[in-house]
Chain A
Amino acid sequence: MFRLIGIMVQNELRIRTRRASTLVTLLLVVIVSWSMVADPASGQSMITVGKSAVQYNSSALAVGSAVLAGILFGLFGFYLVRGRSRDDLIHGMGAVLASTPVSNTIMLFARWLGAVTFLCVLVLALTATMLAVQWVRGVGPLQPLIYLQTYALLLLPTLMLAASIAVLCDACAPLMGKRGDVLYFAFWLGQFSAMPAELTKRAEQTSGLAAIDVSGLATVVIRFRQLFHTDGFSIGGQAVDPSRPVLLIDQFWTGELITMRILCACLTLLPLLPALFLFHRYSPDHVKGTHARRPLSLLAMVNRLLRPASRLVRPLFAVACRVPGIAGQALADIALALAANPAAVAAMVVIGALGMLVEPAALDGVAVAAMACWAIVASDITVRDYQSATESMTAAAPGGAARRYARQLAVTLLLGLLCGAPVLVRWLAHAPLRAAAMFTGLLALSAAASLLGRATRTGRTFLALFLFGLYLSTQITFMPWWDVIGANGVATAQSVSVQLAAGVMLFALGYVVNYRKATQ
């Protein structure tokens, strides 16, 4: 049995690590983890207590990076490892697997273990980066075991829970599509926005409830209170007062905390129980191969209900036939995107009306809603042909795959402008910098959506990154770099220029990726 599980886990790792997207993910882990540690020379520190910096030794960097990385891993980890059942159906392996004598328990456990092992590979990349950071910006000896211990205790429960819920969503047919994606995002948001007040209610002692603190945030908060006897600390990058003494985290983990984290890790296995009970085992009674290509989602249900709204855009097809060249092709693509998403048509009408009627102060919220609506439609544009097996056909149209890519990017941008038109026009009148931010932000996001869609062949990557970024931008309202669509009103000429440059670069990169895929 152990040999079988070992081979299944090995197979999971092979499948996941040999994807091009894994290399991209590893690079992102390195880049993001490097950038999450503020350079002390800049007058900032990753961990501050009051206005005092906490020294960058192994313990501090391990704890700080684990907290910040845990937020990201908790979200993206799920999206990175889910979708295996759908892959099996797409690749025609579902029926073969179902006809083998492997039990459901072993199948699901091996999937889970493979997912956790894969995520641990990313944690190893994080470890290597942090060691490098300490070597460049930190003090004290490099202690890899401290990092590994901290990541094992703080990050591992997060990874295990993400993997458990991913296995559950893959095992249960109704959760295999975007429905599972959206539900998990809501769950992840709930974890942080509802971070149990009970756990950190002005206490310096852990309670048994720490066992459900999967993210480990409450554990860190309580331990910091124990170490520094204050609530005035932050992790993430704050300015420090250089005149204040630098603090040291020497011994972070206590026996009690370790016990709680181990207990927490055990509890993260609980979602596997309903997964075992609900597992479809690729039975055609519950899942079909064609469903693997067609997202099963709440959005699909809404689109079905609002299908009459697509009649508004159907005349565009006839118009597109009469418009020559790339303009006609683009118009046809817009018509197709809108006809396939009548919910977006309805939303655009509502948002458009709101954009024209609300007070200027409320335009921020309308802008965020418009962009969220746009992102859901835009994420599928460059993957639509692959998912509907029409890639070869559309690549054979005049202009080939190269023009198709450029056209789909243009359509993505145009749809964004359509969604945000009322807001854009009103901002042009009285806040042109915000309008410029929105336009260049849309350009960069459209290029990113096209690149990621083409590279990963799923809209989920862009959608997950966008929703996360949108959430962050509503929280980090003071930084111009996060005001990508101008909703916060703090964009600067510099940030707008950078967005424009990013859009151009992402377009160029996407063009190259598209060319390479088309000529393979």
Chain B
Amino acid sequence: MLEIEHVTKTYGRDVTAVNDVSLALGTGVVGLIGHNGAGKTTLMQMIATLTRPTSGRIRFRGTDIRDQPDAIRRRLGYLPQDFGVYPHLTAREFLQYLAALKGVNDATRISRLLEMVNLREHADRLAATFSGGMRQRLGIAQALLNDPDILIVDEPTAGLDPEERLRFRHLLAELGYEKLVIVSTHIVSDIESMADRIAVMREGRLVAFESPEDILQQARGQVWQATVNAEQVALLSANSRVLHAQRQGAMTTLRLAQPMAPCRGAEAVEPSL
């Protein structure tokens, strides 16, 4: 459905935000992971036609979206990272406005979407009064107005409480059965439960594009757990990569990444994303 071919985006002479990224994507949920500044948002902005690649192509169903951006815009839903709402519009008015922009004439669609994102009771409230979670839900609703084939969601769960985050995960996972959903995040646990494939970006480059199982398989036998005292914590921290540390009284349970057992008593454990 979507082919990204050797796409590069540079700003000025010094900044390469995306560097020679190639991906072929079909239906399903694709998690886009990376640190801040890895190039996730820039890549998504290029797919959403907000900005043009410096080089390379992006094709949607064979059509180069650089030449014909409307080809993808008609079938695209986009929830940007810094999504906000017009404070003086109600949720319903906001969706009506965007429905018009997207060419959606079905009057019942808005009601159904509000129901789906659990905002039906708040449909006629001003968006300025919404909490962060409610705004994100409204954001998803606007992204789904035109029943898009591609849904791009940039950091959808940032700032949400655990219950809202869970709701978002379920929703996106369900949508992934019929659509291409590209979700970017630096919260790995959000991706774990919903992504079919994970694209890992670092400094603008694509360093991995695998299923979660394949990534975990590569890490098997290299993750260890040990419960140690404070003195050993310092020693192990200096010599190994500590993935997680949890204090239990005077002792600390460490998860470590290491090709072989880092200390006596360490047990190999199942890796997680």
Contacts and interface: CB of A to CB of B under 8 A. Distances in A.
A99 B100 contact: no
A100 B73 CA distance: 5
Contacts of A7: 96-97, 100
Contact of A96 (B87, B98, B100): B98
Interface in B1-56: 11, 42, 45, 48-52
A136 interface: no
B85 A283 contact: no
Nearest to B77: A99
Given A4-B101, A101-B103, A95 B89 contact: no
A76 interface: no
B86 to A, nearest CB: 6
B166 to A, nearest CB: 24
Nearest to A290: B82
B45 A95 contact: yes
B70 A96 contact: no
Interface residues of A, number: 28
Interface size range of chain B in the complex: 20 to 34
A283 B98 CA distance: 19
Interface stretch (A10-18, A40-48, A253-261, A352-360): A10-18
Nearest to A19: B88
A3 B142 CA distance: 19
A93 B101 contact: no
A92 interface: yes
A11 B103 CA distance: 15
A93 B84 contact: yes
Interface string B216-253: 00000000000000000000000000000000000000
Contacts of B52: 285
Interface in A271-295: 281-285, 289
Contact of B78 (A4, A87, A91, A99): A99
B89 A11 contact: yes
Nearest to B99: A7
Given A4-B101, A18-B88, A289-B82, A101 B74 contact: yes
B51 A284 contact: yes
Interface in A209-236: none
Given A19-B88, A102-B101, A283 B51 contact: yes
Nearest to B96: A7
13 contacts: A91-B86, A92-B84, A95-B80, A96-B78, A96-B79, A96-B98, A98-B50, A99-B48, A99-B73, A100-B101, A101-B73, A284-B42, A284-B51
Interface of A: 3-4, 7-8, 11, 14-15, 18-19, 87, 90-93, 95-102, 281-285, 289
Interface of B: 11, 42, 45, 48-52, 70, 73-74, 76, 78-80, 82-89, 93, 96-98, 100-103, 142
